[in-house]
Structures are given as C-alpha cells and as structure tokens.
Amino acid sequence: MERGDVRLTTDPAPAVAPAPRRRGRRGRALSYLGALPFFLYVAVFLLLPVGVLAVEAFRATDPVTFEETWSTDSIMAITGGAYRRAYLGSLELSVITAVLGAVLGLALAVAVLRARRGRLLRRLVLTASGVLANFGGVPLAFAFLATIGNAGVVTALLTDTVGLGGFSLYSLAGLALVYLYFLIPLMVLTITPALEALRPQWREAADNLGASGWQYWRYVGGPVLAPPVIGATMLLFASAFAAYATAKALVGSSVPLVTLQIANALSSNVIVGSENLGKALALGMVVLIGLVMAFYAWVQRRTQRWLS
C-alpha cells in the first residue's frame, strides 16, 4: 500500500536504478526487439483500422458506375438530419448517465469502504462490480426487460397496484436506467483505489486542527480526489457513448443513438455508399471522443498544477 501512497504525492516516475549493462548496445537492441511484437500487434489491429476509417470516410462510391472517388459527401451527410440527432442523443445520454453514475458510484464506494465490519460486503460489491462493468450489456438488457419491460414483473406489479404505466423502458430515460446498471459499478471499480489512498491520518490531522467535516472535504479530501473523480467520469462517458449491445438488445433502433445508426448503415445493403456513411459516423465518434479526451488531459494538467 505504501507504494500507492507515494504515487499520490510525488511524480509517478519510477526510480530507475542504473541497470547493469553487461551486453551494452547489443543487449539494448535485443530488448527493443523483444518489445517489437507488441508494437506490431497494436499497429496492425488498433492503429491500422482507425487509420483506414479516417481515410475511407472520405471515399464515395458512385451509385451507377461503382467507381470510387474522393468526396466529403458522407462527412457532410452526418452533420445534419437524423445523424445529427443521433449524435446529440448519444451525447445527451452519455453526459447525463456519466454524471449520475459518477455521483452514485462515488457515494456507493464511500459507503462500502467506510462500512463497519464491511469486509464481506466490500468483497461482494467489488466482485459484483467487476462482473457488471465488464461482462457486457446483453444480460443486463434482458434482466431489465424482465423487470420493467412490457411484460416485466415490476411493470405488472405497478400497473396492478397503482395503475401506473407512464414509464417506458424503450426511451432515452429507460436506457439511462439500464446504463447506470453498468456505469455505477464501473465508477466503484475505478474510484476505489483512489479512495483507499486517502489516508485516515489526513482526516485525523484535520480533526485535531478543528476542521469540520465540510472543511475537510473542501480543503483536503476534495482536491486530492478531484483528478481521479474527473478521470473516472470521463471513462464513464466514453463507456456510455460507445455502448451498443444494451441499446440494440433493448430498443432495436427506435432511439436516436449513433451506435445504432452505424449498425443500421452497415447492415443496409440497399443504399449504395451506406458503408461509407457508417465509416463517416464511426470516424465522427472517434473525433468526438478524441476532443473529450484532449479536454480531459487539459483539465488534468490544470488540476495537477493547482495541487502541487
């Protein structure tokens, strides 16, 4: 644990001891050769597909001659109409669920970590979070369908007892409810290490100096937690923005979401050039995420400067 503590206050640069160099330059070259498979793999299976996306989004297929040309038609098409709505819908859903998920996940993580005799509870919550956050959206979608879908158990219960039927699972609000089911666990997993790194001594020191609980969080806990909380919220945003399985299994394609539009564009064999449209939409997603991450990096640098 001491290791984790140190990283909070100092730069994470590892203390590099001068390695014994017996083989000099040749050994070094050999080491680089050992790292080559990794870089090759990433180049072929991560960078190449994204690069191809960036190029082929600017290609167009002529509907008559099937000739390929350079064109910005697809890029133009995705900035308006249904596609624009899809981007906005995705952004709205991801921002709302990311913020809600971050707040609720943080609350849950704090509550679990501080619980008395909570070792079992904590292990249960952490492992359950691992499953819900990583296992994927299809099982979750079906669990919610069985609960508050049209024929769901709770739906039946509510309509029978209160006569309530206003809420629809097949809407943005319904999707948000399901998204939180994997975003809150993701927040718990991501923020728990940062919470564990908050040393109880800091709280004791603040208490001894006469600080109130609010003052502790305002001047000590808050500033230390801010960077990891912002980072985790970004991760939640990216995760909600990219979610496809849950939406597909729940609503088919009746809700404006960009992931659903991409899948539609790819599966449509009728319209020539819809493949290029799918690439343009996907490229748009990458660019948006890139912008958000650049903003995040900027914020992170700012907060770090403010902390030091």
Residues numbered 6 to 65 that lie near another protein (CB under 8 A) are: 12, 14, 16-17, 19-20, 27-28, 31-32, 34-35, 37-39, 41-42, 45-46, 48-53, 56
Q: Which distant-in-sequence residues (6+ apart) come within 8 Å of 68 by Cβ?
A: 59, 60, 61, 62
CA–CA dist 106, 112 (Å, integer): 10
- Rounded to a whole number of angstroms, the minimum distance from the CB of residue 178 to another protein is 9
Q: CA torsion angle for 50, 52, 53, 56 (degrees, to 10)? A: 170
- Please state, as a whole number, how many other Cβ atoms lie within 10 Å of the Cβ of residue 178: 25
CA distance 180 to 115: 23
Touching another protein, residues 167-226 (CB under 8 A): 180-181, 184, 186, 189-194, 196, 200, 203-204, 213
Q: How large is the greatest C-alpha to C-alpha distance in the chain, in angstroms?
A: 80
Minimum Å gap between C-beta 80 and another protein is: 20
Nearer to another protein, 88 or 115 (CB): 115
Q: Using CB under 8 A, count the residues that bind another protein.
A: 109
- What is the number of other CB atoms lying within 10 angstroms of the CB of residue 97? 26
Report the distance separating Cα 101 and Cα 187, nearest Å. Answer: 7
Q: How far is the CB of 237 from another protein (least distance, A)?
A: 9
Assign 87 to helix, strand or coil.
Answer: helix
Enumerate residues 255-274 that contact another protein by CB under 8 A: 259, 262-263, 266
Nearer to another protein, 99 or 152 (CB): 152
Minimum distance, C-beta of residue 166 to another protein, in the bound complex (Å) = 18
Q: Which is nearer to another protein, 82 or 115 (CB)?
A: 115
Window 64-93: residues binding another protein (CB under 8 A): none
Q: Residue 134 CB, nearest distance to another protein (Å)? A: 6
Residues 130-149 that bind another protein (CB under 8 A): 130-140, 142-147
Measured from the CB atom, is 108 or 172 closer to another protein? 108
Nearer to another protein by C-beta: 88 or 111?
A: 111
Interacting residue with another protein among 91, 99, 158, 289 (CB under 8 A)? 289
Fill in the amino acid letter for 53: L
Amino acid, single-letter form, for residue 136: G
Any contact of residue 153 with another protein (CB under 8 A)?
A: yes
Q: CA 145, CA 1: separation in Å to the nearest integer?
A: 42
Residues 98-137 that bind another protein (CB under 8 A): 104, 107-108, 110-116, 122-124, 126-137
Nearer to another protein, 95 or 285 (CB): 285
C-beta closer to another protein: residue 88 or 107 = 107
Beta carbons within 8 Å of 168's beta carbon, 6+ residues apart: 174
DSSP string, 104-169: HHHHHHHHHHHSTT-HHHHHHHHHHHHHHHHS-HHHHHHHHHHHHSTT-HHHHHHHHHT------T
